[in-house]
Amino acid sequence: MYSKTIAIPSLEAAKKFVNITNRYSDATMKITSGYYVIDPRSIMGILSLDLNKPFQFEACDNVPSELISEISQFEVAKN
Protein backbone atom coordinates (compact mmCIF):
# COMPACT_ATOMS: atom_id res chain seq x y z
CA MET A 1 0.00 0.00 0.00
CA TYR A 2 1.17 3.50 -0.88
CA SER A 3 -0.02 6.46 1.18
CA LYS A 4 0.96 10.14 0.99
CA THR A 5 -0.39 13.48 2.09
CA ILE A 6 -1.05 15.59 -0.99
CA ALA A 7 -2.28 19.09 -1.80
CA ILE A 8 -4.38 20.06 -4.79
CA PRO A 9 -4.59 23.84 -4.41
CA SER A 10 -6.36 24.87 -7.62
CA LEU A 11 -8.66 23.85 -10.44
CA GLU A 12 -5.67 23.48 -12.78
CA ALA A 13 -3.89 21.22 -10.29
CA ALA A 14 -7.08 19.15 -9.90
CA LYS A 15 -7.33 18.69 -13.67
CA LYS A 16 -3.70 17.64 -13.88
CA PHE A 17 -4.07 15.21 -10.96
CA VAL A 18 -7.20 13.61 -12.45
CA ASN A 19 -5.48 13.23 -15.84
CA ILE A 20 -2.58 11.46 -14.16
CA THR A 21 -4.73 9.08 -12.10
CA ASN A 22 -6.96 8.23 -15.06
CA ARG A 23 -3.95 6.79 -16.89
CA TYR A 24 -3.64 4.07 -14.22
CA SER A 25 -7.00 2.31 -14.35
CA ASP A 26 -5.60 -0.95 -12.92
CA ALA A 27 -4.55 0.65 -9.62
CA THR A 28 -7.02 0.85 -6.74
CA MET A 29 -6.87 4.41 -5.37
CA LYS A 30 -8.74 6.74 -3.06
CA ILE A 31 -8.48 10.19 -1.51
CA THR A 32 -9.66 10.72 2.04
CA SER A 33 -10.38 14.02 3.69
CA GLY A 34 -12.00 13.82 7.08
CA TYR A 35 -15.01 11.55 6.72
CA TYR A 36 -15.05 11.80 2.92
CA VAL A 37 -13.64 9.15 0.60
CA ILE A 38 -13.26 10.30 -3.01
CA ASP A 39 -12.29 8.56 -6.23
CA PRO A 40 -9.11 10.36 -7.38
CA ARG A 41 -10.23 9.90 -11.00
CA SER A 42 -13.26 12.13 -10.40
CA ILE A 43 -12.81 15.86 -10.99
CA MET A 44 -16.20 16.55 -9.39
CA GLY A 45 -15.24 14.50 -6.34
CA ILE A 46 -12.00 16.38 -5.85
CA LEU A 47 -13.61 19.76 -6.39
CA SER A 48 -16.25 18.92 -3.76
CA LEU A 49 -13.50 18.91 -1.12
CA ASP A 50 -11.91 21.92 0.55
CA LEU A 51 -8.88 22.56 -1.68
CA ASN A 52 -7.26 24.64 1.06
CA LYS A 53 -6.61 21.50 3.11
CA PRO A 54 -4.29 18.60 2.33
CA PHE A 55 -5.71 15.14 1.56
CA GLN A 56 -4.55 11.59 2.11
CA PHE A 57 -3.92 9.70 -1.13
CA GLU A 58 -3.86 5.91 -0.91
CA ALA A 59 -3.22 3.30 -3.56
CA CYS A 60 -3.43 -0.47 -3.16
CA ASP A 61 -2.66 -3.30 -5.55
CA ASN A 62 -0.55 -2.85 -8.66
CA VAL A 63 0.86 0.57 -7.74
CA PRO A 64 3.05 1.46 -10.73
CA SER A 65 6.25 3.33 -9.95
CA GLU A 66 5.31 5.76 -12.74
CA LEU A 67 2.14 6.73 -10.83
CA ILE A 68 4.14 7.35 -7.66
CA SER A 69 6.63 9.43 -9.62
CA GLU A 70 3.94 11.52 -11.36
CA ILE A 71 1.92 12.34 -8.24
CA SER A 72 5.01 13.19 -6.19
CA GLN A 73 4.61 16.79 -7.42
CA PHE A 74 1.45 16.99 -5.27
CA GLU A 75 3.07 15.72 -2.05
CA VAL A 76 3.02 17.98 0.96
CA ALA A 77 6.50 18.63 2.30
CA LYS A 78 7.04 17.40 5.84
CA ASN A 79 8.48 19.87 8.32
DSSP code, position 39: -
Number of domains composing the chain: 1
* Containing structural domain, residue 50: 2-74
Distance CA 62, CA 45 (A): 23
pLDDT means per 10 residues, the chain with 79 residues, are 93 96 91 95 95 93 87 85
CATH of the domain at 66: 3.30.1340.10
Per-position b or e across 22-44, b if 16+ CB within 10 A of its CB? eebeebebebebeeeebebbebe
Sign of the C-alpha dihedral, residues 51, 38, 56, 16?
Answer: negative
Task: Write down the pLDDT at residue 75.
Answer: 95
6 lies in some domain:
yes
79 lies in some domain:
no
DSSP code, position 78: P
Task: Write down the pLDDT at residue 77.
Answer: 78
